[in-house]
Amino acid sequence: MQDAIITLTRAYRFTAAHFYRDPAASDAENEQLFGKCANPHGHGHNYRVEVTLRGTPDRRTGMLLDLRRLDGIVGAQVLEPLDHKNLNLQVPFFTTHQPTCENLARWVWDALATALPPGLLDAVRVHEADDLAAECRGPAR
Protein backbone atom coordinates (compact mmCIF):
# COMPACT_ATOMS: atom_id res chain seq x y z
CA MET A 1 0.00 0.00 0.00
CA GLN A 2 1.38 3.38 -1.02
CA ASP A 3 1.74 6.13 1.58
CA ALA A 4 -1.06 8.66 1.38
CA ILE A 5 -0.91 12.35 2.18
CA ILE A 6 -3.53 13.12 4.82
CA THR A 7 -4.80 16.38 6.25
CA LEU A 8 -6.16 16.56 9.77
CA THR A 9 -7.98 19.58 11.20
CA ARG A 10 -8.55 20.26 14.89
CA ALA A 11 -10.66 23.19 16.14
CA TYR A 12 -10.16 25.33 19.24
CA ARG A 13 -12.00 28.30 20.75
CA PHE A 14 -11.00 31.40 22.65
CA THR A 15 -12.55 34.73 23.58
CA ALA A 16 -10.76 38.05 23.19
CA ALA A 17 -11.36 41.76 22.76
CA HIS A 18 -9.82 44.17 20.28
CA PHE A 19 -10.19 47.51 18.52
CA TYR A 20 -8.75 49.05 15.35
CA ARG A 21 -7.03 52.41 15.52
CA ASP A 22 -4.31 54.25 13.68
CA PRO A 23 -2.61 56.33 16.38
CA ALA A 24 -1.49 58.86 13.76
CA ALA A 25 -5.09 59.46 12.65
CA SER A 26 -7.79 61.60 14.21
CA ASP A 27 -10.89 60.10 15.80
CA ALA A 28 -12.86 61.06 12.66
CA GLU A 29 -10.29 59.43 10.37
CA ASN A 30 -10.26 56.28 12.50
CA GLU A 31 -14.05 56.13 12.36
CA GLN A 32 -13.92 56.52 8.58
CA LEU A 33 -11.25 53.81 8.25
CA PHE A 34 -12.59 51.27 10.73
CA GLY A 35 -16.22 52.13 11.53
CA LYS A 36 -17.52 50.65 14.78
CA CYS A 37 -14.26 48.75 15.25
CA ALA A 38 -12.47 52.06 15.97
CA ASN A 39 -14.15 52.30 19.38
CA PRO A 40 -11.15 52.74 21.73
CA HIS A 41 -12.95 50.71 24.41
CA GLY A 42 -12.97 47.72 22.07
CA HIS A 43 -15.39 44.89 21.55
CA GLY A 44 -15.14 41.11 21.85
CA HIS A 45 -15.40 37.98 19.77
CA ASN A 46 -15.70 34.27 20.41
CA TYR A 47 -13.00 33.07 18.03
CA ARG A 48 -12.67 29.62 16.49
CA VAL A 49 -9.24 28.50 15.32
CA GLU A 50 -8.77 25.53 13.01
CA VAL A 51 -5.30 24.02 12.80
CA THR A 52 -4.70 21.78 9.79
CA LEU A 53 -1.78 19.36 9.66
CA ARG A 54 -0.61 17.64 6.46
CA GLY A 55 1.63 14.67 5.99
CA THR A 56 1.96 10.91 6.04
CA PRO A 57 0.62 9.21 9.17
CA ASP A 58 3.03 7.30 11.35
CA ARG A 59 2.93 3.63 10.35
CA ARG A 60 2.69 2.39 13.92
CA THR A 61 0.10 4.81 15.34
CA GLY A 62 -1.75 5.79 12.17
CA MET A 63 -1.58 9.45 13.33
CA LEU A 64 0.04 12.57 11.94
CA LEU A 65 0.54 13.74 15.51
CA ASP A 66 -0.91 12.57 18.80
CA LEU A 67 -3.86 14.89 19.50
CA ARG A 68 -2.80 15.25 23.15
CA ARG A 69 0.50 16.68 21.95
CA LEU A 70 -1.25 18.98 19.45
CA ASP A 71 -3.67 20.17 22.14
CA GLY A 72 -0.77 20.93 24.48
CA ILE A 73 1.10 22.90 21.83
CA VAL A 74 -1.96 24.90 20.76
CA GLY A 75 -2.87 25.50 24.39
CA ALA A 76 0.56 26.85 25.29
CA GLN A 77 1.34 28.73 22.08
CA VAL A 78 -2.10 30.12 21.13
CA LEU A 79 -4.85 29.77 23.72
CA GLU A 80 -2.84 30.81 26.77
CA PRO A 81 -1.55 34.06 25.21
CA LEU A 82 -4.90 35.02 23.61
CA ASP A 83 -7.84 33.74 25.66
CA HIS A 84 -9.68 36.41 27.66
CA LYS A 85 -7.17 39.06 26.62
CA ASN A 86 -7.42 42.48 25.03
CA LEU A 87 -5.31 41.78 21.96
CA ASN A 88 -4.24 45.41 21.49
CA LEU A 89 -3.06 45.80 25.06
CA GLN A 90 -1.86 42.35 26.10
CA VAL A 91 -0.32 40.72 23.01
CA PRO A 92 2.90 42.49 21.92
CA PHE A 93 2.46 41.75 18.17
CA PHE A 94 -0.80 43.69 18.15
CA THR A 95 0.76 46.84 19.57
CA THR A 96 2.24 47.36 16.07
CA HIS A 97 -0.27 45.44 13.91
CA GLN A 98 -4.04 45.87 13.68
CA PRO A 99 -5.69 42.83 15.35
CA THR A 100 -7.64 41.93 12.22
CA CYS A 101 -8.73 38.42 11.47
CA GLU A 102 -6.00 38.31 8.79
CA ASN A 103 -3.24 39.36 11.19
CA LEU A 104 -4.55 37.01 13.86
CA ALA A 105 -4.29 34.08 11.40
CA ARG A 106 -0.71 35.14 10.64
CA TRP A 107 0.11 35.39 14.37
CA VAL A 108 -1.30 31.91 15.08
CA TRP A 109 0.65 30.46 12.13
CA ASP A 110 3.89 31.97 13.44
CA ALA A 111 3.18 30.75 16.97
CA LEU A 112 2.64 27.17 15.79
CA ALA A 113 5.08 26.80 12.89
CA THR A 114 8.13 26.65 15.14
CA ALA A 115 6.46 24.58 17.89
CA LEU A 116 5.22 21.74 15.64
CA PRO A 117 7.43 19.23 13.82
CA PRO A 118 8.86 20.87 10.66
CA GLY A 119 6.60 20.77 7.61
CA LEU A 120 3.56 19.41 9.46
CA LEU A 121 1.53 22.62 9.70
CA ASP A 122 -0.54 23.09 6.54
CA ALA A 123 -2.99 25.87 7.40
CA VAL A 124 -4.46 27.98 10.16
CA ARG A 125 -7.98 29.34 9.84
CA VAL A 126 -9.30 31.91 12.30
CA HIS A 127 -13.05 32.55 12.46
CA GLU A 128 -13.90 35.91 14.00
CA ALA A 129 -17.62 35.35 13.38
CA ASP A 130 -19.86 32.83 11.62
CA ASP A 131 -19.50 34.81 8.39
CA LEU A 132 -15.85 35.88 8.63
CA ALA A 133 -12.66 33.81 8.60
CA ALA A 134 -9.06 34.27 7.46
CA GLU A 135 -6.63 31.53 6.55
CA CYS A 136 -2.85 31.49 6.63
CA ARG A 137 -0.82 28.89 4.79
CA GLY A 138 2.65 30.07 5.68
CA PRO A 139 4.82 33.13 5.85
CA ALA A 140 4.67 35.71 3.07
CA ARG A 141 7.07 34.90 0.28
Active site residue 101: no
Q: Which residues contact 5 (CB under 8 A, 6 or more apart)?
A: 54, 55, 56
Q: Beta strands of 5-140 (E only): which ranges?
A: 6-18, 43-55, 85-86, 121-129, 132-136
Residue 33 host element (H or E): helix 27-34
**Confidence grade of residue 140 (pLDDT, cut at 50, 70, 90):** low
Q: Which of 45, 101, 128, 136 is catalytic?
A: 128
CA atoms within 13 A on the CB side of 117: 12
Cα–Cα distance for residue pair 48/12, rounded to 1 Å? 6
Active site residue 128: yes
Cα–Cα distance for residue pair 9/70, rounded to 1 Å? 11
**Confidence grade of residue 141 (pLDDT, cut at 50, 70, 90):** very low
Tell me: pLDDT of 122 over 70: yes
From 26-40, 86-100, 127-141, the region with the lowest mean pLDDT: 127-141
Segment 32-56 shows an average pLDDT of 96
What is the share, in percent, of the chain residues with pLDDT greater than 90? 94
pLDDT, residue 3, reads 82
Rounded alpha-carbon distances, angstroms, from residue 140 to 31, 73, 87, 137? 29, 23, 22, 9
Q: Which of 31, 37, 50, 97 is catalytic?
A: 37
pLDDT, residue 24, reads 94
pLDDT, residue 138, reads 84
Active site residue 18: no
Per-residue pLDDT tens over the stretch 58-101? 999 999 999 999 999 999 999 999 999 999 999 999 999 999 99
What is the model's pTM?
A: 0.94
115, 78 in Cβ contact below 8 A? Answer: no
Domain over 6-136 is classified CATH 1.10.1760.20? no
What length does the chain have? 141
